[in-house]
Amino acid sequence: MRLFTSLLTSQCPLCHSEASIGRFCPTCQEDILSSRFYAHRCPHCQLALSENQHCPNCYEHRLILSHIYTAFDYIPPLDSLVLQFKNAQQPHLARPFAHLLYEQLRQKQQLPSKDAILIPIPSRTASLHKRGFNPATLFAKHLARMLHCPLNLSVLRCHDSQQMQKTLSRQNRFLHSSQLYYCAYRLDVPHVILVDDILTTGSTMDSAARALIAAGVRQVDAMVIARTASPLA
């Protein structure tokens, strides 16, 4: 029995206490989900706001996305976990991240219909060679299994760029990303959910969503692991 139990348990990615494989421990999960339920944030882009504050992100550039869902805010100590996932060869973290977002959607009764198609944001070729995997794709694969939704890895393509988005200002991100993505073929479907790891200004998601809508998609939502506390200036 002890051997069987050990096969079903692992360490919580956050506090390292015992947890089910591919999940945060119940205490950490509850703490993270509670912070998501009670924090004041923009209902559209999910930016954390002070009370009665208008969203500066949507005021400057309202994203074309219909809904955005995030697992948690990109703040300590969870931000370091995201960086470990992306840059320290810890792809196993995709599963607990996906489960955390799934639980949030389930508790809020926001689970998407099973005909929604999940599409991860494609990586630049240089990033893919450096990491050996696309974090958004790995996260999307786990989400698709949990949500029982189809996954499309072929339609959305990326024009490789010489300058990475994270080095640009907010305004330049939107200018730079406007032609960053394209669709390999027409996609006449009612609902697509874009999947990525971190949402900052939303310029990446916005550009990808516009490419999908131009290809025939009628509604584009987004699901991400983490939302930054504030957009870049």
Which H/E stretch holds residue 139? helix 135-147
Rounded to the nearest 10°, the torsion over CA 28, 31, 32, 33 is: 120
Q: Which of 49, 42, 41, 45 is nearest to 64 (CA)?
A: 45
Q: What is the pLDDT of residue 150?
A: 98
Q: What is the pLDDT of residue 113?
A: 96
Binned average pLDDT, 10 residues per bin, the chain of 233 residues = 52 95 94 79 89 86 94 92 92 97 95 97 90 96 98 94 56 62 97 97 94 97 92 47
For residue 31, being part of any structural domain is answered with no
Q: What is the pLDDT of residue 64?
A: 95
For residue 172, being part of any structural domain is answered with no
Residue type, 77: P
Handedness of CA 151, 152, 153, 159 (dihedral sign): negative
Q: What is the CA radius of gyration of the chain?
A: 18
For residue 204, being part of any structural domain is answered with yes
Which H/E stretch holds residue 101? helix 94-107
How many CB atoms neighbour CB 212 within 10 A? 25
φ, ψ dihedrals at 67, nearest 5°: -140, 150
Tell me: the pLDDT tens digits for 215-230?
999 999 999 999 998 6
For residue 53, being part of any structural domain is answered with yes
Q: Specify the length of the chain in residues.
A: 233
For residue 233, being part of any structural domain is answered with no
C-beta separation of 208 from 217 below 8 A:
no
What range does the domain containing 101 cover? 40-165+178-228
Instruction: Please report, for the domain that includes residue 122, its CATH number.
Output: 3.40.50
Q: What is the pLDDT of residue 59?
A: 86
Q: Which of 166, 169, 32, 171 is nearest to 103 (CA)?
A: 32
For residue 170, being part of any structural domain is answered with no
Q: Considering its fold, how many domains does the chain have in total?
A: 1
Which H/E stretch holds residue 32? helix 26-38
How many CB atoms neighbour CB 197 within 10 A? 21
For residue 85, being part of any structural domain is answered with yes
For residue 121, being part of any structural domain is answered with yes
How many CB atoms neighbour CB 64 within 10 A? 15
Q: What is the pLDDT of residue 139?
A: 98
Q: What is the pLDDT of residue 233?
A: 41
Q: What is the pLDDT of residue 90?
A: 93
The encoded tokens of residue 188 equal: 């006449």
Q: Which of 147, 9, 46 is nearest to 139 (CA)?
A: 147
